[in-house]
Structure 1
Amino acid sequence: MELTDKRLLVTGGAGLIGTALTRRLVADNEVRVVDDLSNGIRDAVPEAATFVDGDLTDPDVVADVLTSDLDAVFHLAADKYVDADRPREQFEVNEAMTYNVLERMDEVGVDNVLFTSSSTVYGEAPRPTPEDYAPLEPISEYGAAKLAEEGLLSVYANTRGFTVWNVRFANIVGPRYGAGVVPDFVYKLRENPDSLTILGDGRQEKSYMYLADCIDAMCHVVEHTDGGMNTYNLGTRTTTSVTRIADIVSDEMGLDPEYEYTGGDRGWDGDVPKMRLSIEKLSALGWEPSYASDETIRQGVRDLLDSPENEPHLR
């Protein structure tokens, strides 16, 4: 589907990825954004987009924002904490939002949807992990919810004729983001430049993708595939360890702290210690990332250091 002169709905459009996607889309399309602002910032939404403050677990809100004149829905809204304090509530909220969106789309005849899934659906899989790897065995409720939501999307693709773009993200890093290992290290070192506590043993190793690359890849998948269930990994060909991230952050801040490790092979229950997605399928579609994983981390640190300390950050 060409992303030009379309009417589009972006759910979760006030978050890190949602605002960047909306900025990309409003240049050539009419864009409506809905967000309950639990993970986002209203002022970060481009003025050219129509904004609705609403909770997608409420069917009435979904009915108001998802109308028959839309050409596609970009469904990004989610409770995003992998180590959530209330995992059952998180699972139920994410499931409810996606089911409400799909039911309403079917009701009004809108049949194009992009869904932002996650590498967490694979669990602790061999690396690099291709899209057709099986069995999918997530180890967190967040990953389990994403996998269940993918199942719902598959139902609508195979029985209602929907076109689904299901993109599974690596770790996304970008300007003004306030969650994740990079901002965590920056904030810790601002408080104590001499010592840095690192969760786990520091050997956790994952793929990090720069936000601009993520948005470009999402749009590329939409514009170059059609019909049925289209599942693509979005990531880089390289990985970065947690200790290497600490080194990059320290270097960019001009510091030489002592590292203190909490121990164990992962940062928290449900954390996948090593992850690298295969992007061969995406590459065959004609797209490659501009930033390797280390370069993504370094640029992300620079973005954070260049932003005012009192500037609100997105998750």
Structure 2
Amino acid sequence: MKILVTGGAGFIGSHLVDRLMEEGHEVRVLDDLSAGDMKNVERWLGNGNFEFIKGDMRDPEIVRKSIRGVDAVFHLAANPEVRIGSQSPQLLYETNVLITYNLLEAMRKEGVKILTFTSSSTVYGDAKKLPTPEDYAPLEPISVYGGAKLAAEALISGYAHTFGFRALVFRLANIIGERSNHGVIYDFINKLRRNPEELEILGDGTQRKSYLHVSDTVEGMLHIFEHFRKGGRTFDVYNLGNEDWITVTEIAELVSEAMGLRPKFRFTGGVDGGRGWKGDVKIMLLSIEKAKETGWRPRMNSYEAVRRTLRELLKSV
């Protein structure tokens, strides 16, 4: 297939590009490099099956130019930072909702018939049912980031049903691994390199969430994409996460151990009952039963994913 990957120089996107290229697809990447890095895809430069377009998806013409001639789109471009929602809601709207609208319009005009979108567990908000299944309701995001992801999902569903193409949505748990440049593990490593004696931990440390390694994430996306392609649904949603979870304090202990340090932990206390920041979902565990029914399951649990990510990031960060 000829596939467009938006955000393909980013953390998850570049790992997806690697797999698609290794499988022999033609891959075109559209990325403005605001969160991505050319180093993540440089191994493919000069390969006849690879094309890179630097461009901002807020420009409809760039999006339409990028989508011409492709068979499918994997839409991963977004601002990945949940916390920015309290600082710049407009930027979150533009880099999640507006760019998705521009992509959908380009798909409609160019006749592209299949879209895969990476959404987020944050669309569930403080779910009262754990593990949380895809049909949980009401969806009540507590961050602008989660609201923007849910708005993008709704637009995608509306366009797919109205204009006759098919769309697959993945609601992702916390994705970690090599090339990540944000998130709690990355932050802890950098904080301890600055001050090995003390580690600031946002919130009360009891935040408990599911973590999935990026290799398992990409494997799940491509496996379920093939399952979806062979089916007949216009629009479908799958959670991708792990069946266990881990606290922020436990992650801090693993990071400290991996770095050979014994820092004093200083908890900020957080907001709204120990959250790291306003809009932080304190407890998250996704049901992955639907994904498992397709034959996929993660190879690593949350603890194993954190340990592997530590090995990877300590080599590169």
Question: TM-score if structure 1 supplies the norm length?
Answer: 0.94
Aligned to 2:71: 71
1:282 is aligned to 2:291: yes
1:171 is aligned to 2:174: yes
1:262 is aligned to 2:268: yes
**Is the contact made by 2:81 and 2:182 (CA closer than 8 Å) also made in structure 1?**
no
Cα distance per residue 1:99-139 (max 9 Å; x no partner): 11111111111010000000000000021100000000001
Partners of 1:93 and 1:258 in 2: CA distance? 38
1:30 is aligned to 2:39: no
Aligned to 2:237: 231
**Is the contact made by 2:166 and 2:234 (CA closer than 8 Å) also made in structure 1?**
yes
Shift >6 Å, 4+ stretches? none
User: What's the secondary structure of 2:116's corresponding residue?
Assistant: strand
Partners of 1:56 and 1:163 in 2: CA distance? 21
**Is the contact made by 1:201 and 1:262 (CA closer than 8 Å) also made in structure 2?**
yes
User: What's the secondary structure of 1:26's corresponding residue?
Assistant: helix
User: What's the secondary structure of 1:232's corresponding residue?
Assistant: strand
1:151 Cα deviation from its structure 2 partner: 0.5
Cα distance per residue 1:36-73 (max 9 Å; x no partner): 00000113113232000001110110121111x21100
The partner residue of 1:86 within 66, 85, 88 is: 88
Matched AA of 1:102: L
Aligned to 1:110: 112
**Is the contact made by 2:161 and 2:234 (CA closer than 8 Å) also made in structure 1?**
yes
Q: Which runs of 5+ in 2 are unaligned?
A: none
Matched AA of 2:64: A
Aligned to 1:149: 152
1:93 Cα deviation from its structure 2 partner: 3.2
Q: For residues 173 and 93 of structure 1, do their structure 2 counterparts lie closer, same or farther at Cα, with a shift above 3 Å needed? A: closer
> What does residue range 38-49 of structure 1 map to in structure 2 within 5 Å?
38-45=34-41, 46-47=44-45, 48=47, 49=50
User: What's the secondary structure of 1:130's corresponding residue?
Assistant: coil
1:135 is aligned to 2:131: no
What is the aligned length? 302
Partners of 1:245 and 1:167 in 2: CA distance? 25
Aligned to 2:57: 56
The partner residue of 1:15 within 3, 7, 10 is: 10
> What does residue range 175-190 of structure 1 map to in structure 2 within 5 Å?
175-190=178-193
Partners of 2:238 and 2:63 in 1: CA distance? 27
**Is the contact made by 1:88 and 1:141 (CA closer than 8 Å) also made in structure 2?**
no
The partner residue of 1:300 within 283, 290, 309 is: 309
Partners of 1:176 and 1:80 in 2: CA distance? 13
User: What's the secondary structure of 1:269's corresponding residue?
Assistant: coil
Question: TM-score if structure 2 supplies the norm length?
Answer: 0.93
User: What's the secondary structure of 1:83's corresponding residue?
Assistant: helix
1:252 Cα deviation from its structure 2 partner: 0.8
Partners of 1:124 and 1:155 in 2: CA distance? 25
The partner residue of 1:199 within 176, 198, 202 is: 202
**Is the contact made by 1:204 and 1:274 (CA closer than 8 Å) also made in structure 2?**
yes
Partners of 1:105 and 1:274 in 2: CA distance? 36
Q: For residues 183 and 93 of structure 1, do their structure 2 counterparts lie closer, same or farther at Cα, with a shift above 3 Å needed? A: closer
1:292 Cα deviation from its structure 2 partner: 0.4
User: What's the secondary structure of 2:298's corresponding residue?
Assistant: coil
Cα distance per residue 1:176-203 (max 9 Å; x no partner): 2120000111111112112111111000
1:88 Cα deviation from its structure 2 partner: 2.5
Q: Which structure is higher in helix share?
A: 2
How high is the sequence identity, in percent, across the aligned residues? 51
Aligned to 1:312: none
Aligned to 1:219: 222
